[in-house]
Amino acid sequence: MSIQSIGLPPSVASYIQAVSLRESDRLQHLRQAAAEHPLGHMQIAPEQGQFIGLLLQLMGAKRVLEIGVFMGYSALAIAQSLPPEGRLIACEINTEYAAIAQQHWQKAGVANQIDLRLAPALETLDDLLATGQAETFDFVLIDADKRNYGEYFERSLQLVRSGGVIAIDNVLWSGRVADPSTQDNRTKRMRQFNETLHHDPRVQLTLVPIGDGLTLARKTTL
């Protein structure tokens, strides 16, 4: 929902990227392509992709699940942060976006590390659970349709290992969640999701004000 971190003046956002961003050439090309797309605002901020990549490396993550691909920037950032044996299962329903993403993954040389599942994400998650893949993932990124965030989170909690991390994007919803006068259904659903996670004893929790807000939930126990 945001191509730069929420609430930052443009000058500060540009400075942060100037002194900290280390994008690969392929990530830069993909970001430029997304900027020219009518829905390019759906792309994550580049500093957010880099943050996720660093987190994966700190965790030593090898098995990652992404729910919502769009044009493939976050998936590419993830794949480039994994070891050679690392694998990403990427869930997407839109064939147009998936085709764009696959082109960039191929050019970046990471397509063999990404298992793209073209289907409704809930179907893919249920299939993973049905085939005995519970507690096998190190990290999950949720960045898809917001009405299903609760369902995605519950299934992700089953799929991620103890000590693994679930990252949920857009939790600040362009700041609307903090505005009591905003009462549309999508904003109310996001508020309720945030409140539910706040009181969930199964995870350790922090909300990072990067991009459009990124919640990190570390699984403790079921």
Q: What is the mean pLDDT of each run of 10 residues along the chain (222 residues)?
A: 71 92 94 85 88 97 97 96 98 96 96 98 98 98 96 98 97 94 95 97 96 96 62
pLDDT of residue 1: 44
> Model pTM?
0.94
33 three-class SS: helix
Q: Which structural domains are found in the chain, ordered by start?
A: 10-219 (3.40.50.150)
Rounded CA gap, 102 and 98, in Å? 6
177: left (phi over 0), alpha (psi -120 to 50) or beta: alpha
Instruction: Using DSSP, state whether 9 is helix, strand or coil.
Output: coil
What is residue 2's predicted lDDT score, i.e. its pLDDT?
Answer: 52
| DSSP symbol at 175 | G
160/34 Cα distance (integer angstroms) = 30
Handedness of CA 205, 210, 214, 217 (dihedral sign): negative
pLDDT value of position 39: 82
Q: Which residue has the tokens 């996720």?
A: 52
